[in-house]
Every structure is written in C-alpha cells, then in structure tokens.
C-alpha cells in the first residue's frame, strides 16, 4: 500500500558523497529532496475555494486532525500546508497547561500585570454604537456619558500580559483545512508539483536530480 506521508511525495536526488576518499569516479548518495518543501505551498492555489474553517481543540495535533478529517494521520502535512503553517512550534496553538508554563517562564511574577488598557463597547439608550470595544487607550481615557449630559465616563478595562497571550494563542486555533472530497485531487496535484522537470541536472534513466559538485 502506498504511503500517504509527506516524505513519500518528495522525490529523491543525488548528491556527491562528502566522505568519498580517492577514486576518479564520483560517488553519489541518494536522499529525499527536502529543499522542495516550500514549493508544495504552490499546489494550494487551485484549491483555495475548497477549504473550510476548522477550530483546533485543546491538545489536538496535526496528525489527529488528519485522522479525524481524512481517516489517515499521515495526511498531517495536508493540514499544515492548507493552514499555511510552516513552523509548528511557533504557529500551532499550545495547550492551556503548556501555555501557562511557557508564559510563566517569560513573565514570572509579572504574568498578571497590566499590559495595556482597552475600551469597552458603549451604546446609547437606542442601542447605537458610540464606542467600539478593544481599542488600546490610556488608562485616563474618557468620553461624555451618553446617559448623563455634562458628565464623563472612563470606559476602559485593564488587560494583563496573560490575557494578551491567551488571545494570541486562541487566534491560532482557527485554520482553513481542505474539504475531504478534494483530498485525492490535492494530493495528486501536490505530487505533480514536486516532480522534476528535465534539465542538465536531470538523469533520464533514474528520474533523479543530481546536485552540482559544489552543492
């Protein structure tokens, strides 16, 4: 059975054996061409309208989402590519426990200190929006009281370092994933994108790309 893993799609290439000692005939080592990794993102474009939103739950990983959506955890690379995630360490949401540990190491006793102040949403008696919420302002920010002419109110709320980091982490939870019905077409398209084109470096007999001597 053919593997659905990311590495199974990557073509091989040959590079000169760096440990070769002596001999006139150059020795080549065959390996997976990891340098094509970013090129795979180009395969996403034709499928841009075939995505759906997905909310990453607590402790979910790319492989568990692939298992849920596509019935095969080896399609974790499809989840990452379509979500435009390159660095899982920085771009994937942390669990609540791990987030607390990481942020405590970062802020120590200042974890719950005030980072900034934000506005609260204010509406008048007719439910008309007077002030949107979430605007960063000074702690002394004030506006006229819509219910008491001649008076002012301070429609602000303190936002801690912890809350800022929780928001950032939660923003990572919403991603776009490929709909299951387009999976086969997407994988075939990705495989075609990663195939070598004939060139001076292409070995017609083996189908392998050969690296330059000074690679």
Report the mean per-residue pLDDT for the chain: 79
Q: What angle do CA 127, 132, 133 make, to 5 degrees?
A: 115
Model confidence at 137, pLDDT cuts 50, 70, 90, reads very high
33 HSE (CA, 13 A, CB side): 21
pTM strictly above 0.75 = no
Q: CA-to-CA distance for 115 and 163, rounded, in angstroms?
A: 9
Mean pLDDT of 124-147: 93
d(CA 209, CA 193): 15
156-167: pLDDT as tens digits:
999 999 999 999
Span 92-128, pLDDT tens digits? 999 999 999 999 999 999 999 999 999 999 998 889 9
Residue 47: φ, ψ to 5°: -110, 15
């Amino acid at each position: 059975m053919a593997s659905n893993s990311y590495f199974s799609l990557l073509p091989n290439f040959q590079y000169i054996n760096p440990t070769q000692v002596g001999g006139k005939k150059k020795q080549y080592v065959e390996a997976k061409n990891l340098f094509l990794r970013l090129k795979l993102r180009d395969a996403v474009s034709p499928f841009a309208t075939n995505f759906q939103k997905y909310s990453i739950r607590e402790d979910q990983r790319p492989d568990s989402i692939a298992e849920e959506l596509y019935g095969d955890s080896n399609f974790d690379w499809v989840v990452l590519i379509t979500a435009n995630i390159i660095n899982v360490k920085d771009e994937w949401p942390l669990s609540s426990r791990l987030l607390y540990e990481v942020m405590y190491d970062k802020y120590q006793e200042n974890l719950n200190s005030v980072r900034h102040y934000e506005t609260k949403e204010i509406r008048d008696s007719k439910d008309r929006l007077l002030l949107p919420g979430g605007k960063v302002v000074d702690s002394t920010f004030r506006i006229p009281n819509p219910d008491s002419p001649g008076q002012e109110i301070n429609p602000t709320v303190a936002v801690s370092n912890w809350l800022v980091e929780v928001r950032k982490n939660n923003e990572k939870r919403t991603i776009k994933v490929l709909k299951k019905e387009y999976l086969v077409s997407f994988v075939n398209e990705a495989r075609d994108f990663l195939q070598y084109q004939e060139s001076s470096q292409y070995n017609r007999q083996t189908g392998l790309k050969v690296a330059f001597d000074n690679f």
